[in-house]
Amino acid sequence: MTDTPAAIQVVDVVRTYTRPRTSLLRPAPVVRALRGVNLEVKEGERFGIVGESGCGKSTLLRIIAALDHATSGHVVVEGTDITRLPERRLRFLRENLQLVFQDPMSSLDPRMRVRDIIAEPLVVQGHPASGARVRELLEAVGLSADAGDRYPHQFSGGQRQRISIARALAPRPRILIADEPVSALDVSVRAQVLNLISDLVDELNLTLVFVSHDLSVVKHVCDRVAVMNAGQIVETGFTGDVYAAPQHPYTQRLVSAIPTLHRALAGATTTDLLAAKGEPG
């Protein structure tokens, strides 16, 4: 894969947030969410980012998608440095990179019919959104054509996540970013949604960046994985290698927590697994 072009390069990205002052006597608290993150995702790769809650995963994704900006460092997407680009020059990114979020209920407008939700990214970008394209997308995610006439609340959690996936695929993106896409779902439907994402990534030749706090989920979907801890990537490697022979002490703790396998299969989170070992979550 060394000759494959990079879809995403993250170079020395730092992100600090200043929280509101709680006292006139003390300076405003500064949160160092990302402390110099470097990573490269190749075109067509399935790249996982795993780590505990609060380690900076969502911040990193928001910066890659230009929904937030880095305090310092650079993000290059398909060869273009997006770090300081104004919104009007981000059109290529809005079309080629799409996101699926954790909670489909809060990311779908409850007042819109499903067909309009799916067509929305096309309309926003000034493309025609034909009924045929919407039906094709519904079919691709395993929903019937008449689903388009209904509203999000008329679907189960798993079906709503399918709608989110259809919407993300509407502009024919080359990069799909999934932020904890199954964490909010019932355990019984997680595997179906993961398999759907996996199949679509293959069929459509997508680059996938998949973020989860759930080790077993990342292992199921990704070729390579980066392990994040406290705003830094502590280890990157092929998923199988990282799990078989973790190098960094933090990864070793995560992996050694996995043998509580029935918990992992039941969807235990990194925090749960560490807690099961008596470690701080």
Write out the residues near ligand ATP by the rule CB under 6 A.
Answer: 17, 19, 31, 33, 51, 53-59, 213
Cβ at position 62, least distance to ligand ATP in Å: 8
Nearer to ligand ATP, 140 or 230 (CB): 230
In the bound complex, what is the minimum distance in angstroms from residue 69's beta carbon to ligand ATP? 12
Phi, psi of 55 (to 5 degrees): -80, -10
Q: Checking DSSP bridges between strand 224-229 and strand 207-212, what pairing results, if any?
A: unpaired
| Opening angle at CA 177, ends 55 and 182, nearest 5 | 75
Among 179, 161, 176, 169, which Cα is nearest to 206's?
A: 176
Q: Which is nearer to ligand ATP, 33 or 163 (CB)?
A: 33
- Rounded-to-integer distance, Cα 84 and Cα 82, Å: 6
Closest approach of ligand ATP to the CB of residue 56, in Å = 4
Question: Closest separation between CB of residue 224 and ligand ATP, Å?
Answer: 19
57 versus 174: smaller Cβ distance to ligand ATP: 57
Q: What is the b/e burial string over 232-260, where b = at least 16 CB atoms within 10 angstroms of the residue's CB?
A: bbbbbbebeebbeebeeebbebbbebbee
Question: Which of 19/84 has CB closer to ligand ATP?
Answer: 19
**Minimum CB separation from ligand ATP for residue 39, in Å?**
15
Q: Which is closer to ligand ATP, CB of 58 or CB of 207?
A: 58
In the complex, least distance from residue 153 CB atom to ligand ATP, rounded to whole angstroms: 25
**CB nearer to ligand ATP: pick between 4 and 53:** 53
CB of 97 to ligand ATP, least distance (A): 18
Nearer to ligand ATP, 164 or 229 (CB): 229
Under DSSP, the state recorded for 155 is S
> What is the gyration radius of the CA atoms in the chain, in angstroms?
19
Q: Which long-range contacts (CB under 8 A, 24 or more apart) does 194-201 make?
A: 194/220, 194/221, 196/141, 196/142, 196/162, 196/165, 197/100, 197/165, 197/221, 198/46, 200/140, 200/141, 200/165, 200/169, 200/176, 201/46, 201/176
